[in-house]
Structure 1
């Protein structure tokens, strides 16, 4: 583990920032003030700096409506923008492509005033009709497309698509005028504005989507089905897509961007899929920074005097279980698996210092966290006894884990797997390893129906609301867990419409306790993630929700 000296040198991204973010997380603000920043003048000097950032994996696709992995979002945040942004200090929704908004019909309608004079990077105008084109595209995603691209976020937020319209929170979009658009909902949704900050709801050029057949996944890249549009996204953001090859993605400054263009004219996202190779690239001056610092890198970075910036924990790493595998339908087997897991050892060996043990799937600083959620603890002897009571006869459990990747919630997957496998085998479970390269569709394999009994994964929160954690994971039966609890599903659906306050908080506390009681998965850690930066970087906009747009990076002259 990093020494106490290492910890004192590391820069912590303030818990005060996150606490402010969380305090404002679920209330729906009234009309927002117009943005105080005027559009950049067309005579402003063009940015000239080049910034090279090391990533842990290639993006799975650059259409954020269809790919939700960290590396895809990291890139699309630079190219596309949504109606609503996130204040870097408070975490509250802020004007972005919408300059102000108003709620009506008891929370069932939101009217947005759009920023005028904005164009997409292909020269087409951004207006109310383009907003509706995007919303209606997401709503009308056909089932066949959703099966090909399980990274879609629309259903997780709005609950259903057009083929089950009666179940959907989304009702429709209307262009009131060219610069005013109204989104109608079927019921109140407290986290609606926060949800719109997701990269998945960024605005794409309707013309580019039509020309590049955004809903036709006829292309492939590293085994991932993609559309031509997902290989060349077009938004309104400060950077435009330039190229994507086997190891890097290149973006260049958008000369017609409406806002602050910053210092950086060219961004290169270069993939180094091993932690040591990212570290060495930074030490060699090949990159200006990288994400997903591991415990093994930490002390080396400190000894070399490199900057380390830590994000407040806003993710949960877990051991998933699939109840579509018959033996895992027995709660005593699932409880035995939880009892076999030594969270303390896993965290001490493989996570950055001060990472906390997880007892539930909502981080501690979010409203709805339950201090009394049931946790069985670590007790191998009791685990063995439960397996005997359950009549476990050595049935094989296929354990999927990813190779050649580092995630903010899972810094060293192979090592974490090895420790977990040892602990599970020690209590008598028959574990069969199934290693899958991340780039070979690991995420799709473990979140789709299949033979995965156990798997390693995590969830990084994208906006500060408990629904962003329990809703996508446990709001309905899915291919990842095979979890079926209509009572929990109903409670989650009700909680997301409750106004901020004690009743909503208590409802999420009840939900967290009920999920923990039935053990659909084992939450292990609330990981602290960290970035390493070269001396060239004066400021980096680290964010617990990874809302890190590179116009805000400041470099030495």
Structure 2
């Protein structure tokens, strides 16, 4: 139809103008104004997403900034965003992005190929504290090293042959490109604002960091909202609609994030009408929330909870039969039914079956206490004792009730004769440090996928021999890492899929560095006043589509 109108001549084009004006009026009417108030579980660390790794920071900057690619709402699939299209060379090492025209950053700076390369060069040329894993976590995890050459880097260079074309050069092919460019850490930020407010002026101070004026007060992207203020004393962050946004304008005039750490208080604030939405409601509250008329949206599961093994301090755990015995001892069906939110599934592999490389024929470990006792006896470990770590003071999307999950699994182990020494520590008060430093025999951890590739799951867990699983001391630790790198570097998608299926089979039959437990869909809840919120399996909701009725 559109092609016929375009070729029908000026008269028909002029006749169509009232319809176009009417559409414009409808678009403006949909930009209703008002405020959407979100109850955030924690304070953001900062507002420069490159230096961030926490979900509360990303929840805010996701509204302010956009990448070359983004995630299609409600999915983990990549779609065009600031790049309208792209292509790559057969070897997967050179990527050409054709950029959207007429886009400006919030400070009026043009978004163009020069800005794209300026962002890549900024990331690549970090020095000093900027290279700390706590700051450049997502760069190090996805791209590796920096321009100083101390560690190899996936990034090689960026060219801007014209304002509408950016060419990114990689040192090797990788399955995660360009998907990783949808991560908040790799969104485009204004080179002008970063220079003016010294974005890279970050330094260590004791166990923390001191950030620049840019990161604290002047984050500048191209997104549908712009930054207004952060009132730390009152725990509020304010954003305003970007009326110069290149796409459909946001439907509310303002977004406010109220920082409310206590989940019970968030629920009470929703009931009182003081907030319009909050994340990760307690599964036990879902029925009551629905009965009160609130809209509980259960996301598609895109995560994994697993029971990890550290083989460093307990020699018995280096025996595959012992690790298999523990897997058979666990009653995962009952765990999912009794301790996990609705829609949860028992996990047979370390990522959901929607991710490439999922192998339907991996070795399964149904609940079989007799088989568990037999394997322990064969390994001479019938009197096995384990230090089992679980975290306090935390709720994770994949682990809504850490103590309840621990209690259920510990009882399963005791039923097959394993002595369990419980060790509980706060998540950020020793738990993750102890796990990473190989102090736990067994531990609970998990992951919500950043994007839809196998490397983002099993590559993140096992791609480098680490203390967490103590795979550096395992005869197969480096072999597994090499297999994962080879699969990630394979440019042929069909061949790569087969390689990952083989790895998944070996992970469950020959290696077993952990036991996959469950895929758990976290919920997000809104008041009935809220319309247009699209839940994301990545917990990566964008608020431009949200409207709030105050009638």
> TM-score when scaled to structure 1?
0.82
Structure 1 equivalent of residue 154 of structure 2: 169
For each residue in 1:74-131, what CA deviation from the matched residue of structure 2 results, as whole angstroms up to 9, or x when unmatched? 2221122111122337755333222332323542211223333433334444332332
Separation in structure 1 between the aligned mates of residue 125 and residue 367 of structure 2, nearest angstrom: 46
- C-alpha deviation, 1:149, in angstroms: 0.4
Q: Is 2:473 aligned against 1:486?
A: no
Partner of 1:135: 120
Preserved CA contact (<8 Å) 1:243 1:251: no
Alignment of 1:477-516 (within 5 A): 477-484=465-472, 485-499=477-491, 501-516=493-508
Show the counterpart of 2:18. none
- Report the more deviating stretch, 232-241 or 349-358: 232-241
**Cα deviation digits, residues 413-445 of structure 1 (max 9, x gap):** 23223333444455423424232154x5865x3
Against the structure 1 CA distance between its residues 62 and 383, is the aligned structure 2 distance closer, same or farther, given a 3 Å change threshold? farther
TM-aligned CA distance change 1:213 to 1:400, over 3 Å: farther
What CA deviation, in whole Å up to 9, does each residue of 1:288-344 have, x standing for no partner? 112213320111112222212121111111223334445444434433433333212
**2:332 aligns with one of 343, 347, 350:** 343
- Please state how far the C-alpha of 1:520 moved relative to its aligned partner: 1.5
Deviation at 1:523, TM superposition (A): 1.4
Q: Is 2:327–2:365's contact at 8 Å kept on the other side of the alignment?
A: yes
Aligned to 2:33: 48
Instruction: Give the equivalent residue in structure 2 for 1:378.
Output: 367
1:413 partnered with 2:406: no
Count of aligned residue pairs for this structure pair: 512
Match of 2:232 among 245, 248, 251: 245
Residues 162-186 of structure 1 deviation map (CA, whole Å, 9 limit, x = unaligned): 4557843322112223332110112
Correspondence 1:114-263 to 2 at 5 A = 114-141=99-126, 145-149=130-134, 152-162=137-147, 167-210=152-195, 211-214=197-200, 216-218=202-204, 225=209, 227-228=211-212, 229-232=214-217, 233-241=219-227, 242-245=229-232, 247-263=235-251
Q: Does 1:519 align with 2:512?
A: yes
Q: Which residue of structure 2 aligns with residue 549 of structure 1?
A: 542
Q: Does the Cα contact within 8 Å between 1:212 and 1:227 map onto a contact in 2?
A: no
Q: Where does structure 1 lack aligned partners over 5 or more consecutive residues?
A: 1-39
CA distance in 2, matches of 1:146, 1:410: 31
Query: 1:361 Cα shift?
Result: 0.9
Between stretches 527-536 and 237-246, larger displacement belongs to 237-246
> Residues 278 and 51 of structure 1: is their aligned pair in 2 closer, same or farther, counting only changes over 3 Å?
same
Partner of 1:312: 300
- State the match for 1:23 in structure 2: none
Structure whose CA Rg is larger:
2
User: Is the 8 Å Cα contact of residues 34 and 254 (structure 2) preserved in structure 1?
Assistant: yes
Q: Of the candidates 86, 89, 94, which is equivalent to residue 104 of structure 1?
A: 89
- The verdict on how the C-alpha distance between 1:383 and 1:475 changes in structure 2, with shifts beyond 3 A counting, is same
> Deviation per CA, 1:442-497, whole angstroms, max 9, x where unpaired?
65x36743534443222111222222211212111235333342222222222223
The residue aligned with 1:429 is 419
Counterpart CA distance in 2 for 1:378 and 1:536 is: 45
Give the 3 Å change call, closer, same or farther, for CA 148–487 of structure 1 in structure 2: closer
Partners of 2:261 and 2:405 lie apart in 1 by 17
